[in-house]
Amino acid sequence: MSSEITPKAKPVKSTGLHVGDPAPGVKKVDPILIADGVKRTFGGLTAVDVEHVEIPRNAITALIGPNGAGKTTFFNLLTGFDKPDTGDWSFEGRSLAHIPAYRVARMGLIRTFQLTKSLGLLSVMENMKLGAKDQTGENIFRGLIPSLWRKQDREIEDKALDLLKRFKLDAKKDDYAASLSGGQRKLLEMARALMSDPTLVMLDEPMAGVNPALTQSLLDHILDLKAQGMTVLFVEHDMHMVRHIADWVIVMAEGRVVAEGDPHEVMQDQAVIDAYLGAHHDTDLGSTDTGHVEAIKELIDDEQ
């Protein structure tokens, strides 16, 4: 479906991000986010078990993996929305362990959600203004005196209007966010995240449910973030898009990081192919003993 989608400008790829051979947990020249021994279990299920991973600064890193690989859980752990059983992780050299989500966001690590969280009964403009940091009027007592926050609010509004123009949502600014389409909500969520001038933007499946025409502009926006000096980490299933814009790819499967590298090389990696297609996808099942095949068939029937 997405084979003909390419960003308008040819993306400028960042290279030379890592030190040594690309392998899971490889050192980066200039990491912005480092996670060490992060483990999260739900009862008997180990959702995330990442030994070591570094996210390179001012680059676009894609986090890929089959469904259930623990990508979103890993996102939640990094941003303080979930607490790991063990592990340390730091952002720009400051430890993030036991720091609540809102404070992580204030440090400049902003995330979006897989299922968009637009604030439906607030106008698009109010959604945007909510994204701005350090607002005087957000204190209950200072909020009572408009003269204290009016000027700042106007500046925020101008900034929001600028961003909305870039995301082509300015015509909708007074509408309820609930009246936007799914794709427009994705755009709004991304624009809102940019209101706080983040250093690291984490996008959870930014393309899910977005039509091809809009995908193109979303891709351009993501590339734009990098051009403005931000770091992007995103989860995505669309390999074509990953190959096009990502400078670095981290592959997760069953909660672990199984491969890392430059997007073209990583697609050739045996571990990645195994993770996506199953370890025995190229083995002729007919040549193994027939009992095995019967068992698998029964399993499939059961599942259906």
Partner 1 sequence: MDWGAIFGNAAVELISPTTAAYALAALGLAIHFGFTGLLNFGQAGFMLLGAYGYAIPALKLGWPWWACLLTSLLASVIFALILGIPTLRLRADYLAIVTIAAAEVLRLTFTTNEFAPVTGSANGLSEYQRDLLTLNPLPDGRYGFGPWVFSDRAWFFLILGWIVVILAALLTWLLMRSPWGRVIKGIREDEDAVRALGKNVYSYKMQSLILGGLFGTVAGIIFVMPRAVVPSYFQPTLTFFIYAILLLGGAATILGPILGSIVFWVLLSFFSGFIARAVEAGWLPFMTQVQAGQLRFILVGVAIMLIVVFMPQGILGNKKELAFVK
Task: Return residues touching partner 1 (CB under 8 A).
Answer: 79, 81, 100-103, 105-106, 110-113, 117-122, 126-127, 129-131, 133, 135-140, 143-144, 146, 149, 153, 176, 178-179, 189, 192-193, 195-196
Q: Least CB distance from residue 139 to partner 1, whole Å? A: 7
**Judged by CB, which is closer to partner 1: 62, or 193?**
193
Residue in 101, 79, 100 with CA at minimum distance from that of residue 89: 79
Q: Please answer whether residues 29 and 18 qualify as being in contact, where contact means their C-beta atoms are separated by less than 8 angstroms.
A: yes
Residue in 54, 48, 42 with CA at minimum distance from that of residue 87: 48
**Judged by CB, which is closer to partner 1: 97, or 99?**
99
Q: Least CB distance from residue 15 to partner 1, whole Å? A: 32
C-alpha span between 103 and 81 (Å, rounded): 11
**Judged by CB, which is closer to partner 1: 128, or 257?**
128
Q: Least CB distance from residue 49 to partner 1, whole Å? A: 25
**Judged by CB, which is closer to partner 1: 62, or 202?**
202
Please list the residues that pair with 251 across neighbouring strands: 64, 259
SS3 232: strand
Q: Please answer whether residues 205 and 190 qualify as being in contact, where contact means their C-beta atoms are separated by less than 8 angstroms.
A: no
Residue in 139, 256, 130, 243 with CA at minimum distance from that of residue 194: 130
Please list the residues that pair with 49 across neighbouring strands: 39
**Judged by CB, which is closer to partner 1: 89, or 149?**
149
Q: Please answer whether residues 176 and 169 qualify as being in contact, where contact means their C-beta atoms are separated by less than 8 angstroms.
A: no
Q: Least CB distance from residue 217 to partner 1, whole Å? A: 22
Q: Least CB distance from residue 53 to partner 1, whole Å? A: 21
**Judged by CB, which is closer to partner 1: 187, or 258?**
187
Q: Least CB distance from residue 180 to partner 1, whole Å? A: 10
Q: Least CB distance from residue 184 to partner 1, whole Å? A: 14
**Amino acid letter at 241?**
M
**Judged by CB, which is closer to partner 1: 33, or 253?**
33
**Judged by CB, which is closer to partner 1: 141, or 304?**
141
Q: Among all chains, which residue has been given the structure tokens 């039509």? A: 211
Q: Least CB distance from residue 75 to partner 1, whole Å? A: 11
Please report which residue ranges of 79-229 form alpha helices under DSSP H: 101-106, 124-130, 146-166, 182-194, 212-227
DSSP states along 117-144: ---TTSBHHHHHHHT-SS-GGGSTTGGG
C-alpha span between 79 and 257 (Å, rounded): 18
Q: Please answer whether residues 40 and 84 qualify as being in contact, where contact means their C-beta atoms are separated by less than 8 angstroms.
A: yes
Q: Please answer whether residues 180 and 128 qualify as being in contact, where contact means their C-beta atoms are separated by less than 8 angstroms.
A: no
The single-letter DSSP state of residue 209 is: T
